[in-house]
Amino acid sequence: MAVDYPTLFARLGKVVRAYNAHRAFQSGTLLGPGVGADAILDQFEGRRDLVKSVQADFEGFAAAVAGWGSRLTGYADATLADLRAELLAPSASPATILPMLAARMVADAQTVAANAIATPTVTPAGGNAGNGVLVVSKQNAAGVDDERIVTEAVAVRCVGDRFGGNAAGAESFQLVGSPATNPANYLPPGSGTGALAVADGSSLLANGTFEAFSANLPTGWSLTAGTAGTNTGQELTNYHRGAGALKLLGNGVATTVTLRQAIPAGRLAVGARYVAAVWLRRSGTVTAGSTLRVGVTGTGFSADLFNADPATLTTSYALLTAFFTVPAAPPADLRFEFAWTAANAAGAAAVVLADDAVVVAPVEFGHARYALFAGSADFVRGDAFAVATASDGAGTFQSWFARVYDVALPSAAGGAETIADALAE
């Protein structure tokens, strides 16, 4: 059956417009700067005893208006439930209807106006003892910007370190964003609080630290091209953290050096988002002309952290990361792999060092994905980062569905949407 999009969104648009008007009334008439309670208090400066309950009274008025907004949401719920037969939905709840509506919109090439999401910024606190790296992605499991992200400042602070029971490389952090509130009230949306741990302590890879070796091969890893001792070994001087690192040697003879570790499909959730990371540097003299690819790969799938001439690496360790989504049919040969092709072209003295390879599920907070990786110096309690996420909120329908239902609909930017926001404005 066909969804009547013009009628559906014309009806929803009236609800959205009324809902947004009620929110604006709270901030613009009752509790905003210079209006409502604030205006009365200003006028009674010096005799506020005469209006001592005004702030509480106006907050009560605003709460009542927020209640009207909740009633309006009920009208939207009923409008969406009316799609049950057309979508062949098993229930009429918005949680069931909305994903099915979004899928139908994709099939029918229907879109709302998009929210533009800025790349999150991450700023370490100046006095941090630890020098690990926090990465934050704005993309969802589909690999596109998550338009539910809002403009928000997030404080990320270490609350548990090796001196308080946490293992080194597994320190715990608290995430604090803007307060999570009733969607119908006047306050901007916020993510509340959350938790994050340094990813190295929960990696899906065995011996990604390259601390354990046997016969010049890291324990848990397989060399499928090249010769142990000639092309692989343990570096005991120039490591990133711990007491050792992986050493890959070009030696001027081997054309290919390939080291890998299988990632059992059962350890990854289909459709879920993950992040892979490794610290890399070069050593010795690396002549241009070879290619080093490092990443998660398998038949028909790849997520590269590095895929370039290793001569472009620096002589200091740098963290490389790649977010990826597990496909619906994960390849049976999924693996983390170092593949150095034309390695002989790099020269007999060519050396690449790798340390702290990690594959982990990031933490979703405020619909951004967070992952924190250990540095050469451990984090201690009080270390912190400041994260800023931002949305232009330009999509009226998109912003409303994100705020009220925590859902992003299929969207288009630049005026290419098929469902006009004018229906809700």
Q: By C-alpha distance, which of 287, 276, 284 is closest to 312? A: 287
Same-domain pairing of 141 and 110: no
What is the average pLDDT across 32-57?
90
Q: By C-alpha distance, which of 176, 173, 177, 179 is closest to 134? A: 173
Instruction: Tell me what pLDDT residue 65 has.
Output: 83
Parallel, antiparallel, or unpaired for β 112-113 and 411-412?
Answer: parallel
Same-domain pairing of 223 and 206: yes
What is the average pLDDT across 129-148?
97
pLDDT score of 160 more than 90 = yes
Same-domain pairing of 100 and 72: yes
What is the average pLDDT across 143-159?
97
What is the average pLDDT across 101-115?
97
Same-domain pairing of 352 and 417: no
Task: Give me 250's structure tokens.
Answer: 């070009």
Instruction: Tell me what pLDDT residue 36 has.
Output: 87
Same-domain pairing of 328 and 412: no
Same-domain pairing of 416 and 292: no
Same-domain pairing of 226 and 326: yes
- Report the 10 Å Cβ neighbour count for 133: 18
Instruction: Tell me what pLDDT residue 72 has.
Output: 92
The reported pTM is 0.93
Provide the domain limits for residue 141: 117-391
Same-domain pairing of 100 and 200: no
Instruction: Tell me what pLDDT residue 84 has.
Output: 97
pLDDT score of 61 more than 90 = no
Parallel, antiparallel, or unpaired for β 411-412 and 152-160?
Answer: unpaired
- The CATH number of the domain holding residue 174 is 2.60.120.260
Same-domain pairing of 297 and 230: yes
What is the average pLDDT across 174-196?
91
Same-domain pairing of 234 and 368: yes
β-bridge mates for residue 320, sequence order: 278
Q: Cβ neighbours of residue 419 under 8 Å, at least 6 residues apart?
A: 5, 9, 110, 111, 112, 113, 397
Same-domain pairing of 334 and 382: yes
pLDDT score of 31 more than 80 = no
pLDDT score of 70 more than 80 = yes
Same-domain pairing of 180 and 274: yes
Q: What is the number of structural domains in the chain?
A: 2
